[in-house]
Amino acid sequence: MSDPSLDTVASLPVARSVAALRRQVAAWRRAGKSVALVPTMGALHRGHLALVDRGRQLCTRTVASIFVNPTQFGPNEDFARYPRDEAGDAAMLVGAGCDLLYAPAVAEMYSADAAATIDPGPIAAGLCGRFRPGHFRGVATVVAKLLLQSGADVACFGEKDYQQLQVIRRVVRDLDIPARIEGVPTVREADGLALSSRNAFLAPEQRVAAPALHRTLREAARRLMAGEATAAQAVATAHLALAAAGFAPIDYVEVCDAETLVPVQGLDRPARILAAAWLGSTRLIDNVEARSP
Ligand code: AMP
């Protein structure tokens, strides 16, 4: 029997309160089910659905959350214009076999006097953290809340947001939150552009230029792995290629340790090449693996 406190959108059960979420999860627990959580901000695409797929492989019940988290947006960022389409999202989640949507209002997530936050430490300081002060504090805090609210066994996150994935792994490990964090490879368009809810903001000519981000990172990884370039040289060439493709400004291109995200010069340990750059008013991020052959 479904819980009468659950709403329904596009025939998908929806919990709008922590209490309703916990009741549903408790009922599943009594029936011996395991629970995967897929946190999202909505405006779903195939990338998000890959996370739902992975959740369904690992657990017998999958919950997707949709919450556009105000605390991870800076004052001049795109919180107000972030795309929202709950009915469309619910239909996609039903098609993907998701069991429950958790869609709390901001007031349900944060009481007016909520003050405690989670500081992820140095892993959040570089890369996007340098350009988006407080962003990963907001992410870490909301993800910790979602994990505590749901009691999920597994939570799935995309490698597309690679620093976010490593920040969350770190927070979960350091705070002994009993959830397995599962990273899922980036889902891309045929031309290599990573799927993102923000791609909808790209004007047609920007959409044409956008795949250069992934192409440039792949070329940097190739040169580094072939020994044709040092990390510094690969980064310098990538900057030029991105600028030539029309990206401005280029927030960063960096070669970092794949786990700690500390900048590295070589490939003694698995590395990741990460970049963030703007096309007009849209900021795109991407990353690729680089390891010694
Ligand atoms: P968002 O709704 O953009 O906050 O993303 C929610 C989750 O989906 C995060 O774990 C993202 O890393 C993941 N995600 C977003 N885009 C992709 C993609 N193209 N491939 C795989 N995962 C993605």
Atom of ligand 1 nearest to the CA of 187: 20
Q: What is the pLDDT of residue 293?
A: 83
Ligand 1: nearest atom to the Cα of 50: 21
Task: Please give the pLDDT value at position 1.
Answer: 46
Q: Which two tokens stand for residue 14?
A: 């929806």
Q: What pLDDT sits at residue 2?
A: 57
DSSP tag of 263: B
Q: Which residues contact 286 (CB under 8 A, 6 or more apart)?
A: 160, 186, 194, 213, 214, 217, 274, 275
Distance between Cα 188 and ligand 1 center (Å): 11
Cα 157 to ligand 1 centre (Å):
7
Task: Name the one residue in this structure whose structure tokens are 């703007």.
Answer: 278
45 is catalytic: no
Q: What is the pLDDT of residue 163?
A: 98
Q: Alpha helices, DSSP H only, in 4-114?
A: 18-30, 46-58, 86-96, 106-109
* Binned average pLDDT, 10 residues per bin, the chain of 293 residues: 78 97 98 98 97 98 97 92 94 98 98 97 98 97 98 98 98 98 98 95 97 98 96 98 98 98 95 98 97 88
Tokens at residue 261, please? 């995200």
Instruction: Supply the residue whose CA is at minimum distance from atom 18 of ligand 1.
Output: 47
Residue 47, CA distances (Å) to 56, 136, 204, 282 in order: 15, 21, 21, 19
Question: Ligand 1 — pocket residues by CB below 6 A?
Answer: 40-41, 47-48, 50-51, 157-158, 160-161, 184, 186-187, 194-197
- How many Å lie between the centroid of ligand 1 and the Cα of residue 96? 15
Q: Could you tell me which residues come within 8 angstroms of residue 53 by beta carbon, excluding any fewer than 6 positions away? A: 96
Stretch (H or E) spanning 73: none
Is 264 within 8 Å of 255 (Cβ atoms)? yes
